Amino acid sequence: MPRSPAPARRLSLGLVGRALLLMALWLALSGLYDPFHLGLGVVSVACVLWLDRRLPRAAGASRGEAEVHVLRFAAYCGWLLGQIVLSALHVAGVVLHPRMPVSPRVVRFRSDQPNGVARMLLANSITLTPGTLTVEVEGDAFTVHALTEATARGLLDGTMQAKVARLFCDRPGRAVYDVRWEE
């Protein structure tokens, strides 16, 4: 009997690893190391971990469906930060231009994302990028407001959509399809 191929291995932090990572983030952001604030950090981390275990099931996701490739996620965060900076520079140039060449558009497109967490991450990533705002997500359909035609076209090249899908699976579906424009 032939064996089926092994599933792709994922780097998982586990509960203790996530707790340590969140506590390190708490310490770095708070800058306060007295017992009271350390206690608040421990309670906050415990609450976040408790909610993290319950939210995917409440949203109808199976256990492990929303597992992310940790190293890919770190690379994605760096890439997204770069996109945020580039978009901010573009928007600043548009706003500071003497004729302010704003040409707002509403774009509707579909993207095959592997799960609800991926759709949420894509919608939030679009909104975090200056010049674009996710207005609605319904199933695999996204409605996005773009400040200029250039920001809309940059959104529709499918790069962000494919990168988000690759955080959760090795073979993502179609990045962008069924595109409709409104001016």
Range in 3-17, 44-58, 79-93, 97-111 with the lowest mean pLDDT: 3-17
Q: DSSP secondary structure string, 48-116?
A: HHHHHHHHHHHTTPPTTTT---HHHHHHHHHHHHHHHHHHHHHHHHHHHSTT-----EEEEEE---SSH
pTM assigned to the model: 0.71
Neighbour-count burial of 100, counting CB atoms closer than 10 A to its CB (0-12 exposed, 13-18 middle, 19+ buried): exposed
* Rounded distance between C-alpha atoms, residue 92 and residue 130, angstroms: 9
What pLDDT was estimated at residue 80? Answer: 96
pLDDT tens digits, one per residue of 139-150: 999 999 999 998
pLDDT bin (cut points 50, 70, 90) of residue 40 is: very high
pLDDT tens digits, one per residue of 57-89: 444 445 455 677 878 888 999 999 999 999 999
